[in-house]
Structure 1
Amino acid sequence: MLAAVILDKGIRSYNGCLFTRPLLTKACTSACTAALGDFLGQLITKQPKTNLISMARYASFGFVVTGPLAHYFYKMLDKIVPPTAYGAALKRLLVDRFTFAPLVLLLSLYILSRLEGKSHETCAKEVKAKYWAALKMNWKVWTPVQYININYIPQQYRSLFANLVAVFWIMYLTNKRRQATAKNN
């Protein structure tokens, strides 16, 4: 009973924030879920201690990049391909998969490496080496998720839905990045 009351209060508070400050709310949500994904990724890879700087990098990326980009993309998507348009479900999915997904993946690979202090040249090489494989995996994992998200989830909750799934995606990415780092050391 108490859990239901707390959950109800949390949902009401979140909805109020979405109404009064949608961009800030989505940026903060993205920051929190990105940091959580990195933290859980550290746990499953049995890191000797929690890397708070890594969590801060992911949180910063979520706050500055994915939160705002997702907010504006989902608003724009409804204008470009209205839900009532002929073939809207497929068209919306194709716009997402072939524009938004490649851009966000490119930004994440590059910016997260830059936040680690790597040079532009090093980051560009890493992106070149990892991008295609990561994009194919993104298309496999995220296509059904995004089909549901952009066609059945109300616009104001799409970022939240994607962020909740992104916790697991970030766990996967951090695990892959740590494996690559360990292999290179």
Structure 2
Amino acid sequence: MSGLRALRDFYNRSYNKRPILTLCVTNGILGVFSDGLAQTITYYEAKSEQGRNKLDKHLPDKLKEHEDLWPPTPKYDITRTLRFAAYNFCVAPLAGKWYMFLDKFFPMPVASTVASKAAQIAVKRQGDKMAIKRMVTDQALFAPAGLVVFFTAMGFAETRKWEGVKEKFEDAFVPALITNYKVWPLVQFINFKFMPLQYRLPFVSSLGILWNAYLSWLNNASKQEEYVKEHITNPDSQTQKEQVLKT
């Protein structure tokens, strides 16, 4: 426990001195964990038929059309992890400013310690309303915008072509947005209701390690599928299939 308190105190001191840089570094580190988890799950699940079937259930049909032709997955792709960490590092200022904006636009009421019980209940209800307003605004605006930024950045970083960005959106944007709305409204309500401002992005990123792992995995599936489509003009040609597998 003393170690956790020391870490918390170090984070608070760093945030008070350099809030944006602290958010960037924290988010980048959590990005490393996220992609590492995604690669680990993919590697070990893909080693067995049962594991591949479990993963397949969470992929849209168009992202597994040529799954049997995907290049072999390396044990660990450090470039992919660095790319994901760099993305997390770069978007942290935007996310941090967004939370500051919501704090200012939807301020939480403060209950006096000497207020009556009825007044405290009224303040609590008002606080719940503000948390809901923050959550709805976040999910209506920032959630889809965040996915737009993610798939744009990843598509361009991987292919250096805007055509690659377009392919990301065609393959993965809608499935990711649907999954987002199954997971994040409740998490964000808790975040806005109970977390102090300086902890909101780390809280989301920490709980979002699995979410970011999902995004990393979905993004990689899109990348693999587009790779196969680029190298195969005739799916029935065994020679072309062998060339892709050897590439």
TM over 0.5: yes
Q: CA deviation at 1:183?
A: 4.1
The corresponding residue for 1:42 is: 39
Report if the CA contact (8 A) 2:147-2:177 is conserved: yes
Tell me the percent identity: 30
Distance 2:14 2:35 in 1: 25
Candidates 179, 182, 191, aligned match of 1:149? 191
Candidates 80, 88, 100, aligned match of 1:62? 88
Distance 2:197 2:220 in 1: 34
Distance 1:128 1:179 in 2: 13
- Runs ≥4 residues deviating over 4 A: none
Alpha-carbon displacement from aligned partner over 1:123-175 (angstroms, at most 9, x marks no partner): 12321432222111111111111111112111110011011022111111222
5+ unaligned residues in a row in structure 1: which ranges? none
Candidates 215, 220, 244, aligned match of 1:178? 220
The corresponding residue for 1:11 is: 8
Candidates 190, 196, 205, aligned match of 1:163? 205
Distance 1:140 1:125 in 2: 24
5+ unaligned residues in a row in structure 2: which ranges? 44-72, 110-125, 229-247
Distance 1:82 1:151 in 2: 11
Q: CA deviation at 1:88?
A: 1.2
Alpha-carbon displacement from aligned partner over 1:46-91 (angstroms, at most 9, x marks no partner): 14321111111111111111x1111101100011111236831221
Report how many residues are paired. Answer: 181
Alpha-carbon displacement from aligned partner over 1:98-119 (angstroms, at most 9, x marks no partner): 1111111110011012111341
> Which structure features the higher share of helix residues?
1
Using structure 2 for the length normalisation, give the TM-score. 0.69
The corresponding residue for 2:98 is: 73
Change (3 A) 1:25 1:110: same
Report if the CA contact (8 A) 1:37-1:168 is conserved: yes
Using structure 1 for the length normalisation, give the TM-score. 0.90
Specify the structure having the higher radius of gyration (Cα). 2
What SS does structure 2 have at the residue aligned with 1:45?
Answer: helix
Report if the CA contact (8 A) 1:34-1:166 is conserved: no
Distance 2:194 2:3 in 1: 26
Q: Kindly report which structure 2 residues correspond to 1:44-123, keeping only aligned pairs within 5 A, or say none.
A: 44-46=41-43, 47-65=73-91, 67-84=92-109, 87-123=129-165
Report if the CA contact (8 A) 1:42-1:50 is conserved: yes
The corresponding residue for 2:24 is: 27
Distance 1:92 1:161 in 2: 16
Distance 1:99 1:105 in 2: 11
RMSD (Å) for aligned C-alpha atoms: 1.7
The corresponding residue for 2:69 is: none
Distance 2:146 2:138 in 1: 10
Instruction: Name whichever of 156-165 and 115-124 sits farther off.
Output: 115-124
